[in-house]
Structure 1
């Protein structure tokens, strides 16, 4: 088990690739080079909002809206409390995020096995690219070897500079972002004092997204899945590994690491995800 607490984590300003202000607290990171590399973070949109053009990634993203409304196209919005699954290779945007929006974001390698380029790698490349070009409104503007002005999506420019190879996209498994309203799903019994709410299982590698609720005194035996299990504590208080933890805490359990007991000191709810099985 690994744990990351927002209260112990400094906010970091996202780099200049996009337009606007976005501060993040990175709770947990995966393993560089692994197809299941990931980043669990909390985002807060600052003054002036945050904008991106229409784009796509070669990795998956899961967003849970803690406060506010998250627009992911000109007309589509994730409401407060909703969850969005942004599959690899699927276009979304443009985004015009309002000031004060708070989200939990889990970025992870998709089912294709292309993996996920870590924040540290991306920010280092971001700084390098700013020496030879300019990021404006989510696009990278530069001059090629023949002196011709060029533009490309900012994330594509960073990936290609970091890896030395062309950014390739797997065939999209879905045609759009999958927006989910958890309130429309019913809780199901998950054991003594436990309730589960699975929102869905995605791709042939069984990415799973849902919620878990514990009554005071209930024990959840974590880490019993064939892939990495991620919990994000929404409220309450629990005891795990001899320590107590409160809201805005992230937990990682390795594949088949469990059973690892997580006991609710008071009623507690978690967002839960099980990453793709490779």
Structure 2
């Protein structure tokens, strides 16, 4: 088990690839080079909002709205408390995120096995590219070796510079972002006394699973009993795990078949839960 607490994590300002102000707290990172590499973070939109053009990624994203409303196209939003699955290769945006929006984001390698380029790699590459071009409105503007002006999506430019290869997109498995309203689901008993779950969905042939977990006071959840990495994000309450007490905005990683690892609720507690793709 690994744990990352927002209260112990400093905020980092996202780089200049996009427009606006976005501060992030990175709770947990996966393993570079792994198809299940990931980044669990919390984002806060600052003054002036945050804007992105319509774009897509070669990795998956799961977004949970902690506070506010998250637009993911000109007409579609995730309401507070909703969860969105943004599959690899699917276009979304443009986005105009309002000031004060708070979200949890889990970015991870998609079912194609292409993995996920870590934050450290992206930010270092961002700084390098800024020496030879300019990021404007989510696009990278530069002059090629023949003196011709070129424009690329910012994330594509960073990926190709960091890896030395062309950014390839897997055939899309879905046609759009999948927006989920947890309030429309029923809590079902998970097995242990006082342990409840809502599985919002299972996605792709590699069985990415997204759901919520609820523990009554005194209930124990036996974590880490899945065939791939299990991630928990604590929404509220207080638990004991590994001899320590943890409160809201804490992230937990359990490796494949690491468990059972007991997580005991001191008071009623809820988590967002994700089980990453099986490779």
Task: Tell me if TM exceeds 0.5.
Answer: yes
What is the CA distance between 1:255 and its match in structure 2? 0.1
| Distance in 1 of aligned mates of 2:233 and 2:108 | 15
Matched, 1:232 2:233: yes
Q: After the TM superposition, which residues 32-71 of structure 1 pair with which residues of structure 2 at under 5 Å, given as runs?
A: 32-71=32-71
Q: What is the match of residue 138 of structure 2?
A: 138
Q: What is the match of residue 168 of structure 2?
A: 168
| Distance in 2 of aligned mates of 1:152 and 1:46 | 26
Q: What is the match of residue 245 of structure 2?
A: 244
| Distance in 2 of aligned mates of 1:248 and 1:50 | 22
What is the CA distance between 1:241 and its match in structure 2? 0.4
Look up the SS of the partner of 2:157 in the other structure: helix
Matched length: 278
Look up the SS of the partner of 1:125 in the other structure: helix
| Distance in 2 of aligned mates of 1:225 and 1:266 | 25
| Distance in 2 of aligned mates of 1:218 and 1:188 | 15
What is the CA distance between 1:17 and its match in structure 2? 0.3
Q: After the TM superposition, which residues 1-278 of structure 1 pair with which residues of structure 2 at under 5 Å, given as runs?
A: 1-190=1-190, 191-278=192-279
| Distance in 1 of aligned mates of 2:78 and 2:248 | 22
TM-score normalized with structure 2 length: 0.99
Structure 1 gap segments, 5+ residues each: none
What is the CA distance between 1:147 and its match in structure 2? 0.3
What is the CA distance between 1:53 and its match in structure 2? 0.2
4+ long deviations beyond 3 Å: none
Alpha-carbon RMSD across the aligned residues, in angstroms, is: 0.3
TM-score normalized with structure 1 length: 1.00
| Distance in 2 of aligned mates of 1:135 and 1:100 | 24
